[in-house]
Structure 1
Amino acid sequence: MKRHQFIFFAIIALMSLGCDKDENNPEEPIEESFFFEDGFETQNDLVDELFPSNGNRWSTIQQTNPTNATNEISISNTEFNEGQNALRILAYQSDSDLSKVDIEKNGLNIVSGDKVIIKADFFIVGTESIENLLLLDLECCSCWDPNVGDNYGSENQCPGVRLMMSGGNDYLSIERGKISGTTIQQTDFAFPRNQWVTVQWEMTMSDSENGLNRLIINETEVINQTGMNMPNAQVFADVFLNQGIDFTLQEPTFYERVQIGATANPTAGNMELFVDDFSIKVE
């Protein structure tokens, strides 16, 4: 009997030591991450192939045509960077309607504190000025105040940050106007034309000035600056209050979609461009 009691208490003691060890050294939580990439490869050179029924590629096409022209989006098998295909975009210049044609990935959940790395290859045809051409957007449509609706303009209902040509012609910069920030601009590295160019956009997301904004073009860092890169509730409330509008930024606030292509073409000319090797990583 005594032997059985000894074994019993020994087992209890070992179990207690095991519990103490687990409590003192808990397992590290597994951090969730997100990664999506697409090289626009297809079997039959059809845009529809980018939208399979299982939803594991792209979500939709955004297209707004100017009055007297129809923008184009297609799969190219003649101009590409890797594989055998790239996405071809032809965006006619804007008139009273802001010209757009791009491809969109929904279902993201990018929040403050996340590190985001977006990469893509672009080939922009021609040598004319492309100032104000927008190539890539991160947007938060769900954070717009539904009580305000489109009274402030439908173009502004999806606040976000964007890559835009700025600085007089073709200097790719980080545009923050839709979150009431200034453009983070560079004028040292002109965007190469009629050739494939690799763009890498890195951010540590924040609605305050401690966000990180980094832009790399063909392995050359052109921007590395702190600053807000997500909508800020107080900033939005103050901006709208100046116009007599009561605005409440919706929570939780997160970027739920990314768009790439000619997300807006307010330039003086028509834009033809190609996109390849897109990826977005969220940590």
Structure 2
Amino acid sequence: MTEVRQDPIWRLFSLSFAAILAILVAAPTLEARETYNFSDDFEVSRLNDLLKEDKSRWTHYQNTFPQNKAEIVPEAAPSGGSALRFFAVPSTKKVSKSDIEKEGFELRPGQEVRVAALFFLPPNADLKDLFLIDIECRECWPQDSIYPNQSPGVRLKLRDRDGTPSVERRKIGHPDMRNDLRDSVGLPRGRWFKLEWRLTLSDDEKGSSEILIDDNRVFFGRGPTLPSSQAFEKWGIRLREIMYDRFQIGITANSTPGPIEMLIDDVSFQLE
């Protein structure tokens, strides 16, 4: 039998080619997904300590009336540490806001988002039409639009005096999301509780929204959770992108009959 000899250089090339081929075959299963994690426990002395120039913490504090404010409250959290207190007067023709905002990320279709925080609401407070969390897009609006930037997005809204949570979608061109769960549950008042909002992002029926109170599911709905480009085009507005790039937490809108205050702590924001 004639011995077939293989040149060492060719053998090396063969091995390299086989390795490259294996990587190419496996590549579709190694789908890269952007992740983003942010959290804050407000263990600082002043509100301004949360607003770093490098934006490593919060981007800025938003208030729309001079009476509205936010402040660090020592020894107010369940852990004995600091918490963040918000106060806002009722809205007039102008929306009353007192919240803190975080930017520096991009939320795209198909991704999942989780926002969670500890809240303390005053006993017997009327919570109807109080907004707690907004997830929006500042950069989606066309630069040459004759209409002011509406920052399309979804918002966690309390729809009655007892604070039953719901998902408001007016700013993305859809009615409020329907709760598929049978029982409606209001938020606790006069004690600390955990509120978590989970979103699957989509501009069609693949989207979903889930709200939990103290790890118990109280809301679940399906449907669009991102702006619909077709809905905005009806108004002559061509959105630059379909995504979200900021979230706000606190009193993002006080449409209740009177002034409102609250404490929050241990905020977390996760993108998967």
Would you call these one fold, judging by a TM-score over 0.5?
yes
Contact residue 34 and residue 282 of structure 1 kept, 8 A: yes
Contact residue 41 and residue 83 of structure 1 kept, 8 A: no
Within the candidate set 93, 97, 103, 2:94 is matched to 97
Return the alpha-carbon distance in structure 2 between the equivalents of residues 237 and 18 of structure 1. 49
**Alignment correspondent of 2:221:** 225
Contact residue 117 and residue 267 of structure 2 kept, 8 A: yes
Contact residue 172 and residue 185 of structure 1 kept, 8 A: no
- Alpha-carbon offset, residue 31 of structure 1: 2.6
- Alpha-carbon offset, residue 108 of structure 1: 1.9
Contact residue 82 and residue 277 of structure 1 kept, 8 A: no
**Alignment correspondent of 2:130:** 133
Residue 108 in 1 paired to residue 97 in 2? no
**More displaced 10-residue stretch of structure 1: 139-148 or 126-135:** 139-148
Return the alpha-carbon distance in structure 2 between the equivalents of residues 233 and 106 of structure 1. 22
What residue identity is the alignment partner of 1:141? R
**Alignment correspondent of 1:188:** 184
* Gap change, CA 1:79 and 1:16, over 3 Å in 2: closer
Return the alpha-carbon distance in structure 1 between the equivalents of residues 158 and 85 of structure 2. 19
- Alpha-carbon offset, residue 168 of structure 1: 5.1
- Alpha-carbon offset, residue 78 of structure 1: 3.6
What residue identity is the alignment partner of 1:129? D
Return the alpha-carbon distance in structure 1 between the equivalents of residues 124 and 242 of structure 2. 39
Tell me the SS of whatever aligns to 1:215.
strand
- Alpha-carbon offset, residue 29 of structure 1: 4.5
Return the alpha-carbon distance in structure 1 between the equivalents of residues 171 and 11 of structure 2. 66
**Alignment correspondent of 2:248:** 259
**Alignment correspondent of 1:161:** 154
- Alpha-carbon offset, residue 4 of structure 1: 9.2
Tell me the SS of whatever aligns to 1:190.
coil
What residue identity is the alignment partner of 1:217? I
Contact residue 138 and residue 257 of structure 1 kept, 8 A: yes
- Alpha-carbon offset, residue 60 of structure 1: 0.4
* Gap change, CA 1:22 and 1:110, over 3 Å in 2: closer
What residue identity is the alignment partner of 2:213? I
Return the alpha-carbon distance in structure 2 between the equivalents of residues 92 and 170 of structure 1. 18
Contact residue 121 and residue 263 of structure 2 kept, 8 A: yes
Contact residue 111 and residue 200 of structure 2 kept, 8 A: yes
Tell me the SS of whatever aligns to 1:138.
strand
Residue 270 in 1 paired to residue 259 in 2? yes
What residue identity is the alignment partner of 2:238? T
Return the alpha-carbon distance in structure 1 between the equivalents of residues 168 and 88 of structure 2. 20
- Alpha-carbon offset, residue 124 of structure 1: 0.9
Tell me the SS of whatever aligns to 1:24.
helix
Contact residue 135 and residue 262 of structure 1 kept, 8 A: yes
**More displaced 10-residue stretch of structure 1: 4-13 or 171-180:** 4-13
Return the alpha-carbon distance in structure 1 between the equivalents of residues 259 and 225 of structure 2. 30
Unaligned runs of 5+ in 1: 241-245
Contact residue 95 and residue 253 of structure 2 kept, 8 A: yes
Residues 151-172 of structure 1 show CA distances to partners (whole Å, capped at 9, x for unaligned) of xxx5x61111001110454111
**Alignment correspondent of 2:232:** 236
- Alpha-carbon offset, residue 53 of structure 1: 2.9
What residue identity is the alignment partner of 1:47? L
Tell me the SS of whatever aligns to 2:23.
helix
- Alpha-carbon offset, residue 173 of structure 1: 1.0
Contact residue 163 and residue 186 of structure 2 kept, 8 A: yes
**Alignment correspondent of 1:281:** 270
Return the alpha-carbon distance in structure 1 between the equivalents of residues 102 and 32 of structure 2. 25
**More displaced 10-residue stretch of structure 1: 140-149 or 31-40:** 140-149
The share of aligned pairs that are identical, in percent, is 31
The total of aligned residue pairs comes to: 266
Tell me the SS of whatever aligns to 2:106.
strand
- Alpha-carbon offset, residue 261 of structure 1: 0.6
What residue identity is the alignment partner of 1:247? I
